[in-house]
Structure 1
Amino acid sequence: MKMKFFNLELKGSLLLFIALSFVLVGCQDYLEEQPSTLIDSDYIFTTQEGLKSGVVSLYKINRDRYDNGTEDFMGAVLMSSRSDLAFSRSGYTGLMGRYERGVSPVDQGANFVSGLFWKHYYNLANKATAIINAAEDIEGIDEEVRIQVLGEAKFFRAEAYFYLYRMFNNIYVSTQTVTVDNAFDVVNDRSSKEEIFALLNNDLSFAIEHLGWIATPGRVTKGTAKHVKAKVAMWEGDWEEAKSQAVSLINEGPHSLVATTADVFAGDRNNSEALFVIQSKDDLLGGGENTMMNANYVTQYFHISGIEANLDQGGKGFSRILPNLYLLNLLAEDPNDTRDDNTYFRLKYYYTSGDEVGQEITIYKPITDLNNPSPTYQKYYQNLHPSCIKFAQDDDDPDSYLNRSNIMVYRLAETYLIAAEAIMRSSGDPLPYINAIRTRANAEPLSSVDQQAILDERARELAFEGQRWFTLKRMGQDVINSQITNYAGDGEYFPNNLGSKDPRENWKPYYINFPIAQIDLNLLGPNYPQNTGY
């Protein structure tokens, strides 16, 4: 069922809704600044148009994490910095990625995470809940509108709680609308895993049943909900459900893998592979903000004389989060794999002016011998190291760190890899699904599949798309311990990253859960559980 009344080109009703919206339960300092009547959802959701505007606002709220400029837009890139695939070079994101910050409930990193993730997703979940409860009760509206509103709002509530659970573990969920009567009620305990997953599955099942396959670019669809429900099932260890949802999406939906890896992130990303793309448009009310998301992933090659910042080589960046040797070696295993240079990554750079136009730049050398390191290795990491270019868009400004670009959140390639893993862990043949991804990349097909093959293929295909940390955590404590302590950062290949700056050495097993910031615990009940280890 495709509804025509929704339009992501946000109008004045969105601004009105945002002005009237209520905020996270327990965010006391913010609530005290607002007239209490503005918290009451009954004041907002009394008409069909109000509900429609409310749903549109969920997209804006969801995008806020990417648009938030905290510490070079940490909200957009933090999860990629904390993985076995990244070398987190500098800045506050580097501190977080090396487990120097965000490792205590009272450090500044935990405070940043509070605003960018904990409060953000509770805000999204609470507003989605208010819309759901209002839509279920309101009378005299078009039933198709009601069902569409409920489908999208339930998707966002499920995704918000799912993200919170994967980051923090000790979370609470609620289906109660925040009102003037309960806004300051204290939450005394976390929800059980059973409660959390019952709500996730109920919400996502409703979205799958009632949303259509096709929608305006940027809207969630049946396919988006199926994809997330498959991910939820994997966290439950329900491999048959994960397989069912993933295979159904692949076989029944209108989506298909684009022809080449070069096509995946080309243009505005609204292609046949896209399952959910955050839309950002210039000169459009509600069209998003400029971010430094791409700049975080691209090295400072333009500091080298004879090469200017240009979109073909990644745009303008500042070398915060770079592919490490583990990832680069995975990409190099098959010389025909097209995911290495100038599709997902930029491995080599070329002069754009002067006498050497078109020639490869090789003036800085990486470390290959620890006993005799290259004297230029620091410049190599700053200015010539390979970069992820998945977030550079064709119409970006090559001379600015700030750009407004669409962001691919979920895509069908991951669905194929979910199907492969779920089948591997249940029944059937996983090879057609994992090899569909490899064949598209011109890589040699696999003849067998195990957990490490899944991890490696997810690394090649999905690196820096925000999924890796959650994959490692889902696979268990032994897996995340091994991957981080063996591969995170560049370890011995970057001597300045040794000691206190080495994520392999800094890693503690209890970091598998982020700390709940003390500023958030202070708003909860006195016995609300902090995650183990903090």
Structure 2
Amino acid sequence: MNLYNLSDMKKIYSIFIAIPLFLIGCTDLDDVLYDRIPEDAYTADPVLQMSPIYRPMQDHLDWGGWWFCQELSADGLAIPIRGEHWNDQGKWVALHKHDWDTETEAVQAMWGRYYEGIVEANKFIERQVDGIGDPVVDEAIAKAKILRAYYYYLVIDNYGDAPFVTIFVGAPERPFATPKAEIFDSIVKHIEESIPFLDEENRSKTAVTRPMAHALLAKLYLNAEVYTGTPQWSKAEEHIDAVLASGYTLELDALGPFVTNNQNSPENIWVIPYHEDTYHGFNLHMRTLHYLSNQTFNMPVGPWNGLAVVEDHLNTYAENDRRRDGFLIGQQFSAAGAPLALSTGEPVILDPFIPALEMLPGSYPAAVIELAGARVVKFEVKMGARAYLGNHFPIFRLADFYLMKAEVLIRQGQNGDSYVNIIRERAGLEPWSNVDLDMLLEERAREMFFEGHRRQDLIRFGKFGNTWWEKNASGPERQTYPIPQWVLESNPNLSN
């Protein structure tokens, strides 16, 4: 399957992915499904015209590559080779071992999706020029600028220096890379200038809002030292505080933000609104569940038995940690309660121990290869689940910002215990005292597991190059991914 069509984008086709019609689905923006809106209404309403800007987020957990580059390059998850399965030309092993290159699939896909969103934002903003002064148009432009900033945040976080283009008509065909520090300064300015145009009361979880904008600024400032060389902890704290004051509350259940019907979770701030019928893309359960787990959940489709938890990460959870309920370990059962068994008669007992990242055919008994590793059900798999889940996926949620608040306090020589202990106590754990950065990073690993944060956290804490299970030490050049080969071939100005 060719994921890239570079022939349709005006002026900038040489570096930006085009947007084939079959890729433009609906976006649940303020609870509206835009593939059901009449075309004349869609083209007349600036809010409805924003749908293509949101659309690339739909691919975050699948073809877009973002989730895999954040989680599989870190220390908590792996897709091991299982005999004849999951080799896939070595693309999963490359992420785990930090051996990726310019042609690694996820590395190529991320770039295309980010710039798809950027191009659509630029196009949208230019088309609204005649309406400037109308409050509806002004707010729509502000949202588009913040969404564009979000994609550029992902660009500098994952690729570092990159083309920075904010126009559509007249955009350079082959731009040079802009230093990531300059991109950082520009997008921070764009967000801060746009916030006053946003409705103060809007708390939609699927659209740009003031809390979402503050959350994005908090993330940018939290990682400012990585992007610019200069820490900005007090600025991060300012925007973290704005998020904490926005009226969100923690779920009582640690897994509450991830249930099937989580669209109204008071903890989730900004989400990708997946739907099993109309907005596909969330199929991580298919990648992690054992083949026979369809009998556990009465699924009409068979899972793929791939993704597993690195045992070292699993072992960081105390036995009484309520977040352990997000893992499948041990004997598995059918929905009726009968123990599951392989065709050989061996029981389906998921063993947390994974013998090797590359369990090649004949290297271990077949059942060992098949059953190695705990599986992830942090996001609820409902009875009758199909190939795509309908759970909304949080990009920003409140628990993260409690831990971020603790971090900026600690980094400024203050005590962050109370903010960490809010999270620990919900998980059923004893409170900590004198929390330091290492302890905080451990707690973030547990609380934010499987949500696409771990790579960024390890980089910010200076540990991304460390040795861990089946991965040797890696150099600082591995903190970003390379510009994809297809982009370099299209634009020689990026090869320097």
Report the TM-score range of the alignment, normalised by the length of the smaller protein.
Answer: 0.7 to 0.9
1:275-327: CA deviation from partner (whole Å, max 9, x where unpaired):
111113355xxx3125532222334454xxxx824179xx9532332111221
Percent of matched pairs sharing the same residue: 20
User: Among 339, 342, 355, which residue is 2:323 paired with?
Assistant: 339
Distance 1:301 1:504 in 2: 34
Contact kept? 1:26, 1:183, Cα under 8 Å = no
Quote the offset at 1:469 in angstroms. Answer: 0.8
2:367 is the alignment partner of 1:379: yes
Local SS of the residue matching 1:124? helix
User: Among 245, 259, 267, which residue is 2:239 paired with?
Assistant: 245
Contact kept? 1:421, 1:451, Cα under 8 Å = yes
Change (3 A) 1:79 1:299: farther
Which residue matches 1:256?
249
Change (3 A) 1:205 1:427: farther
2:155 is the alignment partner of 1:161: no
User: Among 316, 323, 345, which residue is 2:309 paired with?
Assistant: 323
Is the deviation greater in 376-385 or in 318-327? 376-385
Distance 1:134 1:440 in 2: 47
Change (3 A) 1:258 1:87: same
Which residue matches 1:58?
53
1:114-171: CA deviation from partner (whole Å, max 9, x where unpaired):
2x21121112112112223333x213x7722123202321221111001011111121
Distance 1:55 1:266 in 2: 28
Distance 2:156 2:11 in 1: 17
Distance 1:358 1:518 in 2: 45
Local SS of the residue matching 1:276? strand
Which residue matches 2:286?
295
2:459 is the alignment partner of 1:504: no
**Residues 82-161 of structure 1 correspond to what in structure 2 (within 5 A)?**
82-90=73-81, 91=86, 92=88, 93-99=91-97, 103-105=100-102, 107=103, 109=104, 111-114=105-108, 116-135=109-128, 137-139=129-131, 143-161=134-152
Structure 2: gaps (5+ residues): 1-7, 22-38, 225-230, 342-346, 357-362
Quote the offset at 1:22 in angstroms. Answer: 4.5
Contact kept? 1:210, 1:222, Cα under 8 Å = no
Over the residues paired in the alignment, what is the CA RMSD in angstroms? Answer: 3.7
Which residue matches 1:464?
450
Contact kept? 1:89, 1:319, Cα under 8 Å = no
User: Among 254, 261, 266, which residue is 1:268 paired with?
Assistant: 261
2:165 is the alignment partner of 1:174: yes
Moved over 6 A (4+): 28-34, 44-48
Change (3 A) 1:46 1:523: farther
Contact kept? 2:233, 2:408, Cα under 8 Å = yes
1:236-280: CA deviation from partner (whole Å, max 9, x where unpaired):
121001111112211x21211101113121133220010111113
TM-score normalized with structure 1 length: 0.74
TM-score normalized with structure 2 length: 0.79
Which residue matches 2:193?
206
**Residues 388-399 of structure 1 correspond to what in structure 2 (within 5 A)?**
388-394=376-382, 397=385
Contact kept? 2:283, 2:389, Cα under 8 Å = yes
Change (3 A) 1:367 1:48: closer
Change (3 A) 1:461 1:100: closer
| AA matched with 2:214 | K
Which residue matches 2:332?
350
Change (3 A) 1:238 1:429: same
Quote the offset at 1:32 in angstroms. Answer: 13
| AA matched with 2:156 | Y
Distance 2:355 2:207 in 1: 51
Change (3 A) 1:119 1:45: farther
**Residues 380-419 of structure 1 correspond to what in structure 2 (within 5 A)?**
380=368, 382-383=370-371, 385-394=373-382, 397=385, 400-419=386-405
Change (3 A) 1:355 1:223: closer
| AA matched with 1:347 | I
1:101-123: CA deviation from partner (whole Å, max 9, x where unpaired):
6x222x3x1x5522x21121112
Distance 2:15 2:160 in 1: 23
Quote the offset at 1:46 in angstroms. Answer: 13
Distance 2:355 2:173 in 1: 60
Structure 1: gaps (5+ residues): 1-20, 35-43, 492-502
Distance 2:40 2:77 in 1: 44
Contact kept? 1:298, 1:318, Cα under 8 Å = yes
1:357-385: CA deviation from partner (whole Å, max 9, x where unpaired):
599x6757565999xxxx97763453363
Contact kept? 1:435, 1:445, Cα under 8 Å = yes
Contact kept? 1:293, 1:391, Cα under 8 Å = no
Q: Please identify which structure carries the higher helix content.
A: 1
Distance 1:432 1:346 in 2: 31
1:61-98: CA deviation from partner (whole Å, max 9, x where unpaired):
32144463xxxx75543421111112321323523333
Which residue matches 1:475?
461
Which residue matches 1:496?
none
Contact kept? 1:311, 1:392, Cα under 8 Å = no
Equivalenced residues, count = 447
